[in-house]
Amino acid sequence: MENKMDIQKILSACDHTLLLQPATWEEIKGICDDAGKYRTASICIPPCYVKRAKEYVGDEVKICTVIGFPNGNMTTASKVFETEDALLNGADEIDMVINIGMLKAKEYDYVLEEIKAVKAACKEHILKVIIETCLLTDEEKIKMCELVTESGADYIKTSTGFSTGGATFDDVALFAAHVGPKVKIKAAGGISSLEDAERFMELGASRLGTSRVVKIVKAMEK
């Protein structure tokens, strides 16, 4: 990191995230405060806190939440309902998990139609599609690049952070080579340094799902 501009560029790409099961409202409030102070792209929080967070931050901070999380093997109807409920509560962006079992079984129409259904529920709101790269072969990752492009979703996202691994440089480079021109990339899970964050952005990620970047910047200020 050469200067503060580099750090702000990274912060402004971060979805400042707290999705752990024991997360309390007091902790979520802290995430909201940090996001406002450090001007992150959004906060990414559990659906049950979206309404309170919206009342707390107003329009100062974008609110992202997760759908079908973290396993993705709910019905399409339940994912659509979760999406509609989250938007009613004030969410600005939606990160959904695909049905990984259906992808493994090559039921591509199911996977595609589900993403399209959630995108339709999102209307003008941003939809990011989590494909859980650590569970997929390269061929499956490339197929998901094609399906996400065809679906009209806004982003392809590497990981939930709740499986066997997170974002890798290779996966982000693979996405960049195979997604359509309108699809952006979110790297998430295990981003543990500013250097890694910068490298993910150089490889093509325009969003980073992380809690650590803000923590690192805060520690640098002490």
Active site residue 143: no
Q: Which amino acid is at 222?
A: K
Q: Considering 128, 143, 157, 184, which one is annotated as catalytic?
A: 157
Q: Considering 92, 95, 154, 171, which one is annotated as catalytic?
A: 95
Give me 42's structure tokens. 């959004």
Q: Considering 79, 128, 143, 186, which one is annotated as catalytic?
A: 186
Q: Which of 119, 169, 107, 199 is nearest to 144 (CA)?
A: 107
Active site residue 95: yes
How would you classify the pairing of strands 63-67 and 93-97?
parallel
Active site residue 51: no
Query: Which is it for the CA torsion 191, 197, 200, 205, positive or negative?
Result: positive
Q: Which of 97, 101, 162 is nearest to 128 (CA)?
A: 97
User: Which residues belong to the active site?
Assistant: 95, 157, 186
